[in-house]
Structure 1
Amino acid sequence: MAIQCSGAVGECSGTGGHEAHFTASAPDPSPPARLVPLLALACGSSVATVYFAQPLLVTLGERFALGSGLLGAIVTVTQLGYAAGLLTLVPLGDLLDHRRLVTGQLGLLSLALLAAGLAPGVAALLGALAVVGLLAVVAQTMVAAAATLTPPARRGRAVGTVTGGIVTGILLARAAAGVLADLAGWRAVYLVSAGVTAVLALLLRHVLPSGSPSIGVREESYGRLVASTVTLFVRHPLLRIRGALALLVFASFSTLWSGVAQPLSAPPWSLSHTAIGAFGLAGAAGAVAAGVAGRWNDRGLAQRTTGIGLTLLALSWLPIALTRQSLWALAIGAVLLDFAVQAVHVTNQTLIHAVQPDAGSRIIGGYMVFYSAGSSLGALGSSLAYATAGWPAVTALGTSFSLAALLLWATTRRMSLASV
């Protein structure tokens, strides 16, 4: 997941991407020095909650008597909640005071994590995780707040720090969940996160200045802001094409990361939670890809970046197919896959933001709904495939999503060029 922010005041978009426009009611040209690092920590902590379950799927399945075909539902409900948050909560960033919105969502997120950690049954767990996904979109509001509250001379550095926190949160989520689960059980993952989130909410309430939305946006109704997101995608073919690419690319991504815990926890590997989570560190390639893709896009090479990324995505499944024979093959495939996904993701955001910059938050929010839908599809599909025919079926599914994305790009390339 990559985040991109423009240098304009109050504009920021990202992977969980969001733009918000605020006019601070009493702007402080020099916000507290601890504000930006604290926002970075809170963003990373919030986004990490979406990924905690992936290395724990086998354990959760055993605890709640879920068959291997249903394990993907644990990830799916979280992603569906995230998609709902993008549509229903992200627009609030254009309407409400950011301090109250951020701290309120963080407080509720802490309660949802507590509910997940204490869940007595599968229904309670799935319900709590859906709410966790819904509220995790607070990270997008915090990135926008960082851009708004920092003076222009230091804005780029501040936004880079906060978005770096998100990348780090995603990178470490699986590894941290694995270590905590091995030390104190799976419930500790959510209970510790609930405590950390609550503390961050209290700290930000004392540090984060108040801010009011701009007059033009404030006069827009919440319902019309939400409805306009759909209208934008109906009106612009490029948004639909890039949204469909996001769905397929992240379906492939989720097929791997939601399904790999099952072969790794079974013979011949029988890895611990910690070892399984450590494979998530391959996501470091995604951070590299984000920078490379950004530079290529600035040089007008967006289509070439997309084509290279989608080709690498399809090829990554060749070594991934050998997971049961070689952990090195899995590591190589994971690096290729994460690099490819982030390269395409950054390119998508660059192109769609240019369609109508003054509606950037709604465009990015709508685009991220496709991302969440793809993640949900991949999670559910991988668990069903593994239950039906094992890892070869999961590999075939991931390859199919990747090839479908490559075919879609190839057949719509000229239309995309005409729309830019």
Structure 2
Amino acid sequence: MGPGLTLLLAFAGGVAVANLYYAQPLLGPISVDLGISPAAAGLAMTVVQVGYGLGMMLVVPLGDRFENRRLIVTALLVVALALIGAGLAQNAAMFLAAALVLGISASVAQVIVPFAAHLAPPEARGGVVGKVLSGLLLGMMLARPISSLVADVLGWRAIFLMSAGLVALVAAAIARQVPKRHPGAGFRYRTLLRSMRDLLRAHPVLRRRAGVQFFLFGAFTLFWTVIPLLLASPAYGMSQTGIAIFALIGVTGAAAAPWVGWAADRGWGRIGALAALAASAVAFLLCVPGGAGGPVALGALVVAGILLDCGVASSLVLSQRTVLALGSDSRSRLNGLFFTIFYSGGAVGSAVGAWAFVIGGWELACGIGLAMTIAAAGIHAADRRAASRGH
């Protein structure tokens, strides 16, 4: 598997995932244009995430049943159509329907990751998975500032229509450049879905690694849900532009992912996992004084954001590398289960973070984030003990 193909798959995954986040900073102009309340416009983010969760359970497993290249290209074309629908929507119902279809079809990003793992030789699999995941992380972190910039110049509809064209071009490139892969599983669709329950029961490693990521991604989304509220508060008084610039430190996590995968391929995965957990915990310790405001406190928040993003991204690469090695004929289903649990943690973290900030302020939110990283470390310790016993 050459570097060009790896780059194409990483770019495709990032382009697909980015579509989940374009609407988030645009809820104000969307609500005005469609004549609905900001709260109703906010349903778009809920609907697209619900769709993504449905896609994890209903679309991603198809990677073990149908030819992968055709599945990816078809799903990307559906993404493009959903984006056109969102960009041309004239009322809330049309926009929310497009958001639901967009969320479901964008889950193809999680078909791309195990597909890349299949194409990579075993000795380079960690590095390839890390690079593809870095593409997904970049898409997630850059989507919001890019959509804000485009909307400021061309209006909110432009980002959806422009992304539709980009997704269509990516689909064409994959159809031309990516080899076919015919999976071995010949299950009926209902049997395929039922087998996911059996896989979850059969692989305690999957349950433990997904549990670690549930808490780490929960802590991650808690931080990134609450930090804009803190930065916009009187302690810092930042504008939306300043907050968007701060959010760009999330790119560091995407930069770390390929290196962690490379290190895991060379037997340094255990050290990397411990370092990732330690970095995440230290990040929340640094966060506590950040609520005071001022240059020093802001610097502490920047360092905390970098440590947390690198820690969570590194742990994700290592866990996913392990999960994808559990069975070559069931990688898409394993990945779907893994990320369903992963994103569930994110939903919990964002909800708890907003509640904690309102009830107890920045310090309570930091304390909960630290507790979540400690919970992840506890599950990791249990995983290491089980591995030493051969379970």
Return the TM-score normalized by structure 1: 0.75
Q: 1:37 to 1:354 in 2, by over 3 A?
A: closer
Deviation at 1:286, TM superposition (A): 1.7
Give yes or no for the alignment of 1:176 onto 2:143: no
* CA distances 1:259-292 after superposition (whole Å, capped 9, x unpaired): 3333334445444444323333323332343244
Give the conservation status (yes or no) of the 8 Å contact 2:80–2:167: yes
Matched residues, percent identical?
A: 34
Give the conservation status (yes or no) of the 8 Å contact 1:51–1:173: yes
Q: In structure 1, what is the Cα distance between the partners aligned to 2:194 and 2:180?
A: 25
Q: In structure 2, what is the Cα distance between the partners aligned to 1:150 and 1:415?
A: 28
2:217 paired residue number: 250
Q: 1:247 to 1:85 in 2, by over 3 A?
A: same
1:135 paired residue number: 105
Give yes or no for the alignment of 1:283 onto 2:250: yes
Give the conservation status (yes or no) of the 8 Å contact 2:216–2:376: yes
2:280 paired residue number: 313
Q: In structure 1, what is the Cα distance between the partners aligned to 2:179 and 2:328?
A: 25
Deviation at 1:249, TM superposition (A): 0.8
Deviation at 1:121, TM superposition (A): 6.5
2:380 paired residue number: 409
Please, which moves more after superposition, 45-54 or 178-187? 178-187
Deviation at 1:225, TM superposition (A): 2.3
Q: 1:272 to 1:186 in 2, by over 3 A?
A: farther
1:224 paired residue number: 191
Q: In structure 2, what is the Cα distance between the partners aligned to 1:323 and 1:191?
A: 39
Map residues 54-73 of structure 1 onto 2, 5 A cutoff.
55=25, 65=37
Give the conservation status (yes or no) of the 8 Å contact 1:263–1:324: no
Return the TM-score normalized by structure 2: 0.80
SS at match of 1:220: coil
Give the conservation status (yes or no) of the 8 Å contact 1:55–1:273: no
Map residues 6-405 of structure 1 onto 2, 5 A cutoff.
39-53=9-23, 55=25, 65=37, 75-117=45-87, 127-142=97-112, 165-201=135-171, 204=174, 207=176, 211=180, 213-214=182-183, 216-217=184-185, 219-298=186-265, 300-321=267-288, 322-323=290-291, 325=293, 326-405=297-376
Please, which moves more after superposition, 111-120 or 143-152? 143-152
* CA distances 1:188-212 after superposition (whole Å, capped 9, x unpaired): 433432343244445655x357846
Deviation at 1:397, TM superposition (A): 2.9
SS at match of 1:318: helix
Give the conservation status (yes or no) of the 8 Å contact 2:64–2:331: no
Give the conservation status (yes or no) of the 8 Å contact 2:129–2:321: no
* CA distances 1:144-186 after superposition (whole Å, capped 9, x unpaired): 666778999x999998876654344234223312322433454
Please, which moves more after superposition, 143-152 or 300-309? 143-152
Deviation at 1:313, TM superposition (A): 1.1
Q: 1:130 to 1:319 in 2, by over 3 A?
A: farther
| Higher share of residues assigned helix | 2
Q: In structure 2, what is the Cα distance between the partners aligned to 1:329 and 1:341?
A: 18
Q: In structure 2, what is the Cα distance between the partners aligned to 1:295 and 1:211?
A: 26
Q: 1:235 to 1:96 in 2, by over 3 A?
A: closer
Q: In structure 1, what is the Cα distance between the partners aligned to 2:23 and 2:291?
A: 21
Q: Which amino acid aligns with 1:166?
A: L
Q: 1:194 to 1:204 in 2, by over 3 A?
A: same
Q: 1:411 to 1:269 in 2, by over 3 A?
A: same
* CA distances 1:78-128 after superposition (whole Å, capped 9, x unpaired): 333223212211222233344542332122212333444455666765554
Q: 1:54 to 1:93 in 2, by over 3 A?
A: same
Q: 1:158 to 1:101 in 2, by over 3 A?
A: same
Give the conservation status (yes or no) of the 8 Å contact 2:116–2:129: yes
Give the conservation status (yes or no) of the 8 Å contact 1:112–1:131: yes
Q: Which runs of 5+ in 1 are unaligned?
A: 1-6, 8-29
SS at match of 1:96: coil
Give the conservation status (yes or no) of the 8 Å contact 1:176–1:277: no
Q: In structure 2, what is the Cα distance between the partners aligned to 1:344 and 1:151?
A: 22
SS at match of 1:213: coil
Deviation at 1:228, TM superposition (A): 1.8
Deviation at 1:37, TM superposition (A): 5.8
Equivalent pairs counted in the alignment come to 384
